[in-house]
Amino acid sequence: ATPTAIMVGIGKGAESNILVKDAESLELGSKINAVVLDKTGTITEGKPTVTDSLWLIDSGDKASLESVLLALESKSEHPLAEAVVNYLTGSGVTPARLADFDSLTGQGVTGRYDGKTYLIGNRSLLAENQVSVPANVDNQVNMWESQAKTVVFFARAGQPVLAILAIADPIRPSAKQAVAELQQRGITVHMLTGDNARTAAAVAAQVGIERVQAGVLPADKAHFVEQLQRHGCTVAMVGDGINDAPALAQADVSMAMGRGADIALDVARMTLISTDLTSVPKALTLARKTVRTIR
């Protein structure tokens, strides 16, 4: 049944840029006691830019390696790849011709050039390709990560790392307030990310989130939501990307952030058109008020 109250609730939501797909989302929305926020594109703006780089090679080799790096990231659809592409094309680099391009979810990308395998991605991709990171480089990485930056590693399989790039993605100005509003209502707030633990912790600290799951693959994001449900939580998941679709589908209430990937918008049963994260507590308040009117 769809009483008038639900219609009114849906109408009020639309006025505040909250699009509600069905009555059930409002019903469940009134019972939410855990909110899971994706990091990239949800807590952050999803507009990453390269802020620092460190090359660990003879300067004579840099130009051709930059071309290989550009070729790799040009073939990736990841937002981090776009940041690297903008950074390199901005300084006039043109892409090399790659063979055997491969994209590894949650890790990065690989490709072959001149008979050798090159890769760009995170530590787990390095480990799989026997790439070592010297201790002094590791220190630099840790420093950048503590500043909430994501560090990506460029390397040739079986060789020491060639370069590291630090990428910053600004935290949405509304994030801290949104988290505080949720917590004030006794809602537990979690952050999920495929990014590394140190960067994740730095972002979480800036917005007041204590519960963080880092290095999480897309399927594991859904699994995490399911675990919370098993422990008796009614869960709202807020995400933006392809990565988040399984978790959005698993959650009791799913919210896609404005201008998210089409798949996230398809799966989610509430769409937050504005990029203001306080729409999350607003949507839950709307649900509570609507349900109170019904009873």
Strand order in the sheet with 49-55: 49-55, 163-168, 150-156, 116-121, 108-113, 99-104
Residues forming contacts to ligand ADP in the complex (CB under 6 A) are 39-40, 73, 76, 78, 80-81, 106-109, 120-122, 150, 152, 193-195, 241, 243
The dihedral sign for the CA sequence 272, 278, 281, 283:
negative
Per CB under 5 A, 276 contacts Mg ion: no
Per CB under 5 A, 38 contacts Mg ion: yes
Nearer of residues 119 and 284 to ligand ADP, judged by Cβ: 119
**Which of 41, 108, 246, 260 lies at the binding interface for Mg ion (CB under 5 A)?**
41
Q: What are phi and psi of 101, to 5 degrees?
A: -65, 140
Residue 121 touches which of ligand ADP, Mg ion, none (Cβ within 5-8 Å per kind): ligand ADP
Alpha helices by DSSP H, the chain: 4-15, 23-29, 62-74, 79-90, 123-128, 135-146, 175-184, 197-207, 218-230, 245-250, 262-267, 279-294
**Which of 13, 95, 121, 241 lies at the binding interface for Mg ion (CB under 5 A)?**
241
What is the C-alpha to C-alpha distance for residues 256 and 180, in angstroms, rounded to an integer? 20
Q: Which stretch binds Mg ion (CB under 5 A): 86-94, 236-244, 267-275, 276-284?
A: 236-244
CB 268 within 8 A of CB 57: no
Residue 129 touches which of Mg ion, ligand ADP, none (Cβ within 5-8 Å per kind): none
Tell me, yes or no, if 52 is annotated catalytic. Answer: no
- Catalytic option among 38, 169, 195, 252: 38
Burial pattern 264-293, b for ≥16 Cβ within 10 A else e, equals bbebbbbbbeebbbbbbbbbbebbbebbee
**Amino acid (1-letter code) at residue 104:** L
Q: Which residues contact 67 (CB under 8 A, 6 or more apart)?
A: 93, 94, 95, 96
Nearer of residues 42 and 174 to Mg ion, judged by Cβ: 42
Residue 271 touches which of Mg ion, ligand ADP, none (Cβ within 5-8 Å per kind): none
Nearer of residues 80 and 228 to Mg ion, judged by Cβ: 80
> How many C-beta atoms lie closer than 10 Å to residue 259's C-beta?
12
Residue 194 touches which of Mg ion, ligand ADP, none (Cβ within 5-8 Å per kind): ligand ADP
Query: Residue 188's closest CA among 213, 161, 164?
Result: 213
Nearer of residues 181 and 195 to ligand ADP, judged by Cβ: 195
Residue 76 touches which of ligand ADP, Mg ion, none (Cβ within 5-8 Å per kind): ligand ADP
- Closest distance of CB 294 from ligand ADP, Å: 37
**Which of 40, 67, 250, 275 lies at the binding interface for Mg ion (CB under 5 A)?**
40
Residues that bind Mg ion in the complex, under the rule CB under 5 A: 38, 40-41, 241
Residues known to be catalytic: 38
